[in-house]
Chains A and B, each alone.
Chain A
């Protein structure tokens, strides 16, 4: 079974929506699903840091703008689900730009909420994993570029073959117990310093 389905009752949900009957319905359904849930209005500056999913009412006003900015800063791993009232292109663009992973529409209905939460939080988790992997790969790639550059410096200056240059970098890295990338960066810096 999908891990998130199994773990749904440990999920923490925040609802940012004016306190009215619809908000009560939403809170009641999230509680039936078995998540910890809190409804906050007006929005406070400090979002509980262990929030997993936030439902946010999208209105084209300054309050919503400020709210979404503070959400984006504070909680990268949080899943945003939009509650929408309008379907005008500007409103849609707003929801997409804010990074919503799912939307529910007004009037709020119990049916479909569980599916939206699971789909959105799963997508959001996958996106986070992908972003982490991409940034790791990017740093690996720039490391490899540095090693290449350092090798060519050694080959040009010391008349080493490519293999000898690589072995020299590797020996230095092992004796200093640092990554190859660090040794390479030092070689590049030194070369820039002495032969600008």
Chain B
């Protein structure tokens, strides 16, 4: 007879194994599994081992919400972790709110959300867009071409970018959108247009597998000879889908790159590769899933509960040594203080970090009127790696 206090507890992992965003969500699931394995090795949550239950959400918001209901109602999980695209999170939020359950959200997004039942693990625009706009206009140029997948995150990211470019007397010469599973033809016409308009920067928020096709077309059309492509979402995971060297020189703003040289990150990378394969690459979304899983399970162990209020309160008082740097929760908005960085892609698929914030930046998910003036006094450029 197993006593209640020794029974394993379960958490539900909401990720896609198939579909246009599966390539990155699989790394998020791996990172979640790794964190849970580490938690279990250290004694579990309040002495109880943790199981991860997961079902393929197929990059489909409706499936995300059905799986969330099933995991909470039928399989009795204590909390949910996951979601990549905003529409998946939006489909799951009402499910956790009705049940007073907890969702730990594992990606950067556009902001403008607060639910008492969600902990938001990824960056919001004041934690990455601002640094990116500043870097690009100081180092590349001021004529921007915006292209993205037609949904909330790219549209809002473009609005923020446009505000910042205009503030510095730059120019946005076009704003174009494609479907999630974009056709090659659609992308071809955009690349043609970019070739004609000759921008300094293409700000690319195309998500999913289409981004590889887009890059391929840009390279073939010679666009990359005079234009820098920059992004918030082209991470090591997207680069891994492309032929080696294709996107070399690409600029990404993110709170994590695999190349970070801290001891916490070296340990994370080594453990991940030991578990999933020595050639596996890690990215910011996976790091968010890894850190958030550790944070939530740690808080649940200390509080002996998965109650969202208790977990939020605990995480506001507890610093976690994440691979990106020490992080903690901002109790005012349930988002996390994070470490913005700029990475330039090398031929080997890893990013050289060319700028990073001198401290973790407070999340401001409801900031509408972004201004580069807010950033200048607090950034210390650190020419890491030369």
Number of interface residues of B (CB under 8 A): 15
With a cutoff of 8 Å between Cβ atoms, the chain B residues found around residue A29 in the complex are: 114
Contact A110 B368 (CB under 8 A): no
Return the contact of A110 from the options B114, B163, B367 (Cβ within 8 A). Answer: B114
Return the contact of A6 from the options B112, B116, B365, B368 (Cβ within 8 A). Answer: B368
Any A CB within 8 A of the CB of B333: yes
Q: A6 vs B365: C-alpha distance in the bound complex, in angstroms?
A: 15
With a cutoff of 8 Å between Cβ atoms, the chain B residues found around residue A6 in the complex are: 368-369
A124 CB to nearest chain B CB (Å): 19
**Residue of B115, B364, B369 with most chain A CB atoms under a 10 A cut-off:** B369
Residues A1-47 near B (CB distance < 8 A): 1, 5-9, 25, 28-29, 31-34
- A32 and B115 contact, Cβ closer than 8 Å, known pairs A5-B368, A6-B368, A9-B369: no
Contact B332 A8 (CB under 8 A): no
Contact B369 A32 (CB under 8 A): no
A108 CB to nearest chain B CB (Å): 11
A149 CB to nearest chain B CB (Å): 53
Any B CB within 8 A of the CB of A194: no
| In the complex, per-residue mask of B41-63: 1 if CB is within 8 Å of any chain A CB, else 0 | 00000000000000000000000
Contact A111 B332 (CB under 8 A): no
Closest to B90 in A: A111
Residues B180-195 near A (CB distance < 8 A): none
Closest to A25 in B: B116
| In the complex, per-residue mask of B92-131: 1 if CB is within 8 Å of any chain A CB, else 0 | 0000000000000000000011111000000000000000
Contact B369 A31 (CB under 8 A): no
A120 CB to nearest chain B CB (Å): 17
Return the contact of B368 from the options A8, A25, A28, A31 (Cβ within 8 A). Answer: A8
Q: A33 vs B112: C-alpha distance in the bound complex, in angstroms?
A: 8
- A1 and B163 contact, Cβ closer than 8 Å, known pairs A8-B368, A28-B332, A34-B366: yes
- A110 and B332 contact, Cβ closer than 8 Å, known pairs A8-B368, A32-B365, A33-B366: no
B166 CB to nearest chain A CB (Å): 10
Contact B163 A32 (CB under 8 A): no
Q: A7 vs B368: C-alpha distance in the bound complex, in angstroms?
A: 9
With a cutoff of 8 Å between Cβ atoms, the chain A residues found around residue B367 in the complex are: 34
Q: A29 vs B114: C-alpha distance in the bound complex, in angstroms?
A: 8
A114 CB to nearest chain B CB (Å): 7
| Interface of A, helix, strand, loop or mixed by DSSP | helix
With a cutoff of 8 Å between Cβ atoms, the chain A residues found around residue B163 in the complex are: 1
With a cutoff of 8 Å between Cβ atoms, the chain B residues found around residue A1 in the complex are: 159, 163, 368
Closest to B112 in A: A114
Q: A31 vs B114: C-alpha distance in the bound complex, in angstroms?
A: 12
Contact B332 A114 (CB under 8 A): no
With a cutoff of 8 Å between Cβ atoms, the chain B residues found around residue A34 in the complex are: 364, 366-368
Q: A9 vs B159: C-alpha distance in the bound complex, in angstroms?
A: 18
Contact A32 B333 (CB under 8 A): yes
Return the contact of A114 from the options B115, B333, B366, B369 (Cβ within 8 A). Answer: B366
**Residue of A1, A28, A31, A32 with most chain B CB atoms under a 10 A cut-off:** A32
Q: A9 vs B371: C-alpha distance in the bound complex, in angstroms?
A: 13
Q: A9 vs B367: C-alpha distance in the bound complex, in angstroms?
A: 9
**Residue of B112, B114, B115, B365 with most chain A CB atoms under a 10 A cut-off:** B114
Closest to A31 in B: B332
Closest to B365 in A: A32
Closest to B367 in A: A34
B105 CB to nearest chain A CB (Å): 15
With a cutoff of 8 Å between Cβ atoms, the chain B residues found around residue A31 in the complex are: 332
Closest to B97 in A: A109
Q: A28 vs B333: C-alpha distance in the bound complex, in angstroms?
A: 8
Closest to A4 in B: B368
Q: A8 vs B366: C-alpha distance in the bound complex, in angstroms?
A: 10
With a cutoff of 8 Å between Cβ atoms, the chain B residues found around residue A5 in the complex are: 368-369
With a cutoff of 8 Å between Cβ atoms, the chain B residues found around residue A33 in the complex are: 366
Q: A169 vs B151: C-alpha distance in the bound complex, in angstroms?
A: 65
Contact A111 B333 (CB under 8 A): no
Contacts A34-B366, A111-B113 known; 14 new A-B pairs at CB < 8 A:
A1-B159, A1-B163, A1-B368, A6-B368, A7-B369, A8-B369, A32-B114, A32-B332, A32-B366, A34-B364, A34-B368, A110-B116, A111-B114, A114-B366
Query: 25 A-B residue contacts at CB 8 Å?
Result: A1-B163, A1-B368, A5-B368, A5-B369, A6-B368, A6-B369, A8-B368, A8-B369, A9-B368, A25-B116, A28-B332, A29-B114, A31-B332, A32-B114, A32-B365, A32-B366, A33-B366, A34-B368, A110-B114, A110-B115, A110-B116, A111-B113, A111-B114, A111-B115, A114-B112
Could you list which residues of chain A lie within 8 angstroms of chain B, going by C-beta atoms? Answer: 1, 5-9, 25, 28-29, 31-34, 110-111, 114
Could you list which residues of chain B lie within 8 angstroms of chain A, going by C-beta atoms? Answer: 112-116, 159, 163, 332-333, 364-369
Nearest 9 pairs of A and B residues by beta carbon: A110-B114, A33-B366, A32-B366, A6-B369, A32-B333, A5-B368, A8-B368, A34-B366, A32-B114
